[in-house]
Amino acid sequence: MRDEHRGERPASRFLASVDGCHSSSLRWQGKRNRRKSESADGLRKWVYAKRDCSGFKDKVVIVSYNVLGVENVTKHPDLYFNIPPKYLGWDHRKELLRKEIKNYHPGILCFQEVDRFNDLEDALQRDGFKGVYQARTGDAPDGCAIFWNNERFTLLHEEHMEFQSFGLRNNVAQFCVLQMSSNQLISDTKSKSKAARSSRSMVVGNIHVLFNPNRGDIKLGQIRLFLERAHKLAEEWGKIPVVLAGDLNSVPQSAVYQFMSSAELDLSRHDRKRISGQMDIPLKSSIFQSQQEGFPRWNGEELKLATGDEHVTCLLHYLKLCSAYPGVPGNLRTRDSMGEPLATSCHSKFMGTVDYIWHTEELIPVRVLDTLPVNVLRKMGGLPNKKWGSDHLALACEFAFA
């Protein structure tokens, strides 16, 4: 979540209606029809989709995790003043992270805020993973990393984006094209054609978006380029599925989320400083107010950063994206009205959701790892702690190839 700007107040949660791929996200499962959940680690549980997924054989668990950079713990003590120092140390947290991740039996890992890549690589190699890392530009020591189980997946292509080259700060993103190994394909023999095998590839994107709540133009610019490149890679590799993970530093009720889910955004209807929803907004306010209702106009420079053209106010992308968690209905203790987690990050100055896993419709969410209820997080006094190694919670979704 963090970068060079910190200390904003927690975001207010206000209702917003967003049309998406998962119309079932608002229909909560009652006690009678709730599928049996299984514990992943003693506290967090897997929640299963309501649909019958038994016919889908080729599956993969994908995890997105902001692992809390070591340097950021030192630079921002105000965020962790009530956390015992022994729980902030990297050696303690590193072992917790490895043990936790191993419990989820993942095939692909997307990490953000990584500033000890070699340590993570050494630890994960013992569990059969290979990885690639991309450090942020500028003075910040952290970056993004993608790991994959080397027995289950083959790396076909890898690249990264440095947003500094577009005038969009020092954040980075990375992409891997990964193919499921042939011995991992367990589809019915009749379907094991060359086309079926080639469809078991996917584009995996990983990003950590700028934190600064006031620079919605830069946030949107980073996300725009990220989505454009993901779409092009999917097309170049034969219209393969796309999974995009990361810390977007934006809440589910924000214009950023609306852009991701609906594929378009009219900037004239939004305040640049409230694009991510990270600022306190009265409940009677709406992020969908029009320019005529008082939002300041975007100048040419801001429009160019956000859209790539100083004369364009409408932002578009060409991926049909769904957010994974609304695709598997949960309960009101851990989910908001849209089906997203109530909180994926918790420290002394923020508790809310900024982390996501997005996917195209060629992938079907089979189950997701439920987050922790807000009251439980409050009782813990924040993250990290004895049980959890970061101030974010890992998101995990098991996908099936449609």
Is residue 63 situated within a structural domain?
A: yes
Is residue 11 situated within a structural domain?
A: no
What was the pLDDT predicted at 182? 80
Eight-class DSSP state of 388: -
Residues comprising the chain, all counted: 402
What was the pLDDT predicted at 136? 98
Cβ partners under 8 Å of residue 1, min gap 6: 66, 211, 247, 249, 345, 350, 354, 391, 392
Is residue 249 situated within a structural domain?
A: yes
Is residue 72 situated within a structural domain?
A: yes
Domain holding 176: CATH number?
Answer: 3.60.10.10
| Cα 153 from Cα 381, distance rounded (Å) | 39
What was the pLDDT predicted at 27? 42
Q: Which domain holds residue 242?
A: 23-401
pTM for the whole thing? Answer: 0.88
Q: What is the CA radius of gyration of the chain?
A: 20
Is residue 86 situated within a structural domain?
A: yes
Is residue 29 situated within a structural domain?
A: yes
Is residue 3 situated within a structural domain?
A: no
What was the pLDDT predicted at 296? 83
Give pLDDT tens digits for 195-254.
444 569 999 999 999 999 999 999 999 999 999 999 999 999 999 999 999 999 999 999
What was the pLDDT predicted at 295? 74
| Closest to 201 in 3D by CA, of 246, 159, 152, 245 | 152
Written as tens digits, the pLDDT of the chain (402 aa) is 666 544 443 333 333 333 345 544 434 443 333 455 676 666 899 999 999 998 998 999 999 999 999 999 999 999 999 999 999 999 999 999 999 999 999 999 999 999 999 999 999 999 999 999 999 999 999 999 999 999 999 999 999 999 999 999 999 999 999 999 987 665 444 444 444 445 699 999 999 999 999 999 999 999 999 999 999 999 999 999 999 999 999 999 999 999 999 999 999 999 999 999 985 433 233 333 333 456 789 999 999 999 999 999 999 999 999 999 999 999 999 999 999 999 999 999 999 999 999 999 999 999 999 999 999 999 999 999 999 999 999 999 999 998
Number of domains, the chain: 1
Judge contact between 15 and 337, C-beta under 8 A: yes
What was the pLDDT predicted at 196? 41
Is residue 8 situated within a structural domain?
A: no
Give pLDDT tens digits for 62-95.
999 999 999 999 999 999 999 999 999 999 999 9
